[in-house]
Amino acid sequence: MIKQNSLLLVGAAIAFAAVARAADPPAALPAFTNPGFANPDTPGLMDGKPAGDVPNTVDMVVLKQLAIGGQAEVSLGKMGRERGAAGVKDFGARMVDDHTAANSKLASVARSAHVELPPKLDAEHEAAARELSALQGRAFELRYIDRQIADHQKTVELLIHEIGSGQHGGARQLAVQTLPVVMQHLESARAIRDQLVSSSSPH
């Protein structure tokens, strides 16, 4: 049921984005446009049909952001696996496994697109790791899950943006394949948070 609901949500999100773009009034186009802010030397750019194996700016930004997020999911997931109880522990272990596999696929796509991925976490995720490392028990679990919900929401937005505006075939295919999984992660994190809040509420 979760998978079916995720796929419905994914389809609805993509359809909504397409309708929103179609509803925008057409702007007057110059004689030459640069689809997706492609690199100036992109093959086929002058014909308005850039080659599908060449990344545009959207591909580059999304791949790099996904790499940072993927590294964070593994790093923070290990903390969740080690410090969490019951559902949080299992969720953290799942993040480590799923995102380790996803990071491997992402690295392969980035190589084919000749996009250099960041080698380490950004300042935001390093700060999140430091914050979580100072917490224990229920305080850690709630902060970890809240972080997971926020990060997975951002990842959903990135993947939908790539599907709609990316150019590199491999990057777009990766986004299509990854989006339902991330949606499932997001639903699971929300359910765990509800359980944590419910169990900590006075009766």
Residue range 166-193, pLDDT digits in tens? 999 999 999 999 999 999 999 999 999 9
> Which domains does the chain show, CATH number per domain?
52-200 (1.20.1260.10)
- Is 148:91 a contact under the CB 8 Å cutoff? yes
Q: Does pLDDT of 37 surpass 60?
A: no
| Least confident among 28-37, 92-101, 177-186 | 28-37
| Better-predicted residue by pLDDT, 72 or 5 | 72
Asked if 60 and 106 touch (Cβ cutoff 8 Å), the reply is no
The tokens of 159 are what?
């993947």
Q: What is the pLDDT of residue 49?
A: 57
* CA angle (173 as vertex; 48, 70 as ends), nearest 5: 120
137-163 confidence digits (pLDDT tens): 999 999 999 999 999 999 999 999 999
Mean pLDDT of the chain: 83
pLDDT band at 30 (very low <50, low <70, confident <90, very high): very low
Check pLDDT > 80 for residue 194.
yes
